[in-house]
Structure 1
Amino acid sequence: MKTIIEVCVDSIESAVNAEAGGADRVELCDNLAEGGTTPSAGIIQAVRVRIGIGLQVMIRPRGGDFLYSPAEIEAMKYDIQVAKDLKADGVVFGCLTREADVDMERMSELIALARPMNVTFHRAFDMVRDPFSAIDALVTLGVDRVLTSGLHATAPDGAGMIADLVSHAASNIIILAGGGVRPHNIQQLVTQTGVQECHVSGRKLLESQMTHRNPNVIMGGTTHSSEYERLVVDSALIRSFQSTED
């Protein structure tokens, strides 16, 4: 069975390249350095008119934890409506309680607003107190899929837990494995865990085409090495995820 490939993207160019590489859908985010936040309406619109594959939109008002204030929940509701109006196929979000359980009340409100779009519970799942109770809660809520690295830094590291989650979930919810999934390890991960969907990045460093440069200014803080290079999805690299299945 073919593995469904979802590509995490943060730009119009990356989304287009992901489709060209044979991806089944993209997860559109902003601010990947923080693990992904909500992209702008303009970016969602620009991507939607340029790709024909599935478009999932991240709904996350900030970096950090997944315990949201009432004001942040209102912002998420607004962003979900924007994604729906702009013809996204799905939205990606997750809310936790102080005790690191799935926030049933908040999630229920957001899911109701999101329909008929599909809903993915993102890697907030990897912060939960009890992953099996969390799966049961997400099934009760009617969530379509959960993105997880098996409560580890990467999916290969958490492969044992992912396999247990796949078994526990049965056919009630899709387990989407993500985090550290590469062309060289995807087939082993699929075989070991039984997942049918994988979340990948597949980016390469792209040099700016600007001819005049000021090397003395950095916009993104000391962790950003240069304003004249960026990471963009590589179509050939995305294609190589599928070729490993042949």
Structure 2
Amino acid sequence: MPAPVLVEACVDSIESALAAAAGGAHRIELCANLVEGGTTPSAGTLALCRTRLRIPIFVLVRPRGGDFLYSAAELAVMLEDIRRAKDAGAHGAVVGVLRADGAIDVERTRQLIAAARPLQVTFHRAFDVCRDAGEALETLIGLGVERVLTSGQAATAPQGADTIARLVRRAAGRIGVLPGGGITADNVEALVRSTGVAEVHLTGAVTRRSDMAFRAPQVEIGNVAPRSEYEWSVTDPEQIRRVVESLGEKKGRL
């Protein structure tokens, strides 16, 4: 197995960020709203993560849930979010923009990369809904993106392992291929062996139930179903630790 394998934890709260670091994650992707696939985190969350963590923080830049076809106003928001994340001390930016025809939006991606430099740039799982994975990979290589996060255009990375392996071979070291989606301690070693990746991405999440004694179950604040205001997902340090140990390490990083 290639070694060392970097473990990136995808988190959407300060609690989850601290848990990921305690579990031994090497890097976090900081988001908000993972229930919608992740959106840009708050300035306060990033600031506190920078204060409390000693591992690199890559910030997701995504102004809303839904597709990856953005308006000019949304692009302006993304550019401003990148500038503010840089000023706050982020170590990397995670972006993704498509055209209506399913191809990478080269011009807008180039603008986001330019705004992010000298930070590293990851192209996120917008890649998984693009029209042609090979074409998209070559486009991102040409743009100078450091890595692409992908499930291999499948529901989970283990299900997309054959595609991920093909992407790794095609990339030939020109871009990193970061598998994400459905990765656990039970499947990570086999995934790394079969694909040859050098990094993996996971949430390591469990369900947290509210301590509220009084509840108003007839009221739904959110509109993402199925969902309850009285439970949410948080990263479990033990889930992260099991993945890290499966890949040969046994230490926390908080």
> In the alignment, is residue 6 of structure 1 matched against residue 8 of structure 2?
yes
CA spacing shift, 1:31–1:128, aligned 2, 3 Å: same
Q: Tell me whether 205-214 or 225-234 shows the greater mean CA deviation.
A: 205-214
Deviation per residue, 1:105-130 (Å, 9 max, x gap)? 11111101101111000001011122
2:164 aligns with 162
Find the residue that maps to 2:8 and give its secondary structure. Answer: strand
Give the CA deviation at 1:2.
2.1
1:65 aligns with 67
Give the CA deviation at 1:59.
0.5
1:34 aligns with 36
Higher relative contact order (CA 8 A, sep 6+): 2
Q: Tell me whether 98-107 or 146-155 shows the greater mean CA deviation.
A: 98-107
CA distance in 2, matches of 1:137, 1:220: 37
Identity of aligned residues (%): 51
2:19 aligns with 17
CA distance in 2, matches of 1:44, 1:68: 24
Deviation per residue, 1:133-152 (Å, 9 max, x gap)? 21111111110100000011
Checking the alignment, whether the CA contact within 8 Å between 2:184 and 2:239 is kept in structure 1 is no
Find the residue that maps to 1:109 and give its secondary structure. Answer: helix
1:213 corresponds, among 201, 204, 215, to 215
Checking the alignment, whether the CA contact within 8 Å between 2:204 and 2:235 is kept in structure 1 is yes
Give the CA deviation at 1:245.
2.7
Find the residue that maps to 1:42 and give its secondary structure. Answer: helix
- How many residues in Structure 1 have an aligned counterpart in Structure 2? 246
Amino acid at match of 1:184: D
Equivalent residue runs for 1:67-216 within 5 Å: 67-216=69-218
What TM-score do you get using the length of structure 1 for normalisation? 0.96
TM superposition outliers: structure 1 runs of 4+ over 4 Å: none
1:50 aligns with 52
